Amino acid sequence: MKCWKCKNQDYNPSHRNKVEKVISNIFPIRPYRCDSCDFRFYGLISPLFNRSRAISTGIMGLLLALFVVSALVSFDEEEPTPKTEVTQNTESAEVSGSDGGIATPVSKPEVENGAAAASTNATDNTSEEIGLEDETPAIEEDLSGHSDFVKTQLARNRSISAGEEPPTVVSKKTEAPAVKASPKAEAPRVAAISGGQITAVSSQLEGKVFRLEIETNKPVSVKKQWLDERGPKLVVNLKGAWSLKRGLSAKIPVGDSLVKRVRLGSHPNYFTIVLDLSMEKPGKTTVEPGEKGIVITISKP
């Protein structure tokens, strides 16, 4: 794999944000940064297949299959259209005789009178049935052997079944007044470091010790630091979002026996300081953050 810009094969993995980490767990792709031109590009991860990526791909495939199945099932389910029956009123009807003779036509008034009589008979029968039901005596339940609590619950259930508003039950026990909790003294909140501005950058070589001083307008806190022997280079990440003052360069060439150049990079949640070293294994390295900046020293072995 080569750099997209300068076609150089010297590169190192670059830090990933949250979106890039999610994509790397599904697809074997991650960002890289070129050591020559400092260009950030994307490439394949080796190995291309691992356990976490297989689990993520399997979960996404299962969710996609469930979505397709649910879509097909909802498409197949259709509500049946109600069928309307159309009744037609006949002007006349023929009623056959009991002896099997020729049927005689019946006029419309007679049919209407017969229907009215039938409906009247049905109404009378219904009223008789209702009267019989009303005459049946109601069975009363004997609650003499039950406690007051059971009687109250039975009366409440009957009111609910009859559609009435249930009676309110007043407890004889007096509730103790609620005790208000005394307000606790809140712990002092520590202000989070949100970053600031890089105002000045200076470097000097004092004997066998290289000293890099970076001045800021706010206190500095170190998030992470490590020595990359593949570069070789020293990487220091600061907490918070920092920006460079107008006129300051992100690349500062040094060209001495300890450090080749200094690179500064701004990110959404942190700030990166990279010192490209001239030797593979430097001596003692110190990083001292302070109220108005940070001091990095590197000594010869």
**Residues 242 and 196: beta-carbon distance below 8 Å:** yes
| CA 150 to mean position of chain CA atoms | 48
Closest CA to 296 of 237, 251, 249: 237
Quick one: DSSP state of residue 262? Answer: E
What's the sign of the alpha-carbon dihedral 32, 38, 40, 44?
A: negative
Which of the residue ranges 1-10, 67-76, 186-195 would you say has the lowest mean pLDDT?
186-195
Q: What is the pLDDT of residue 133?
A: 46
Q: What is the mean pLDDT of the chain?
A: 74
Q: Is the pLDDT of residue 79 over 90?
A: no
Bridging pattern class, strands 93-95 and 40-44? unpaired
Q: Going from the N-terminus, what domains does the chain have, and what CATH number goes with each?
A: 11-70 (no CATH), 197-299 (2.60.40.3500)
Whether the per-residue pLDDT at 224 is higher than 70: the answer is: yes
| Cα–Cα dist 281/226, whole Å | 13
Q: pTM value?
A: 0.38
Mean predicted confidence (pLDDT) in 68-84: 69
pLDDT at 150: 78
Per-residue pLDDT band for 271 (boundaries 50, 70, 90) equals very high
Q: CA–CA separation, 89 vs 97, rounded Å?
A: 23
Short-list 219, 214, 212, CA closest to 200? 214
pLDDT (mean) for 30-50: 82
pLDDT above 70 (res 145): no
42 to 4, 22, 33, 45, 280: CA distances (angstroms)? 9, 15, 9, 10, 27
In the chain, % of residues over pLDDT 70: 64
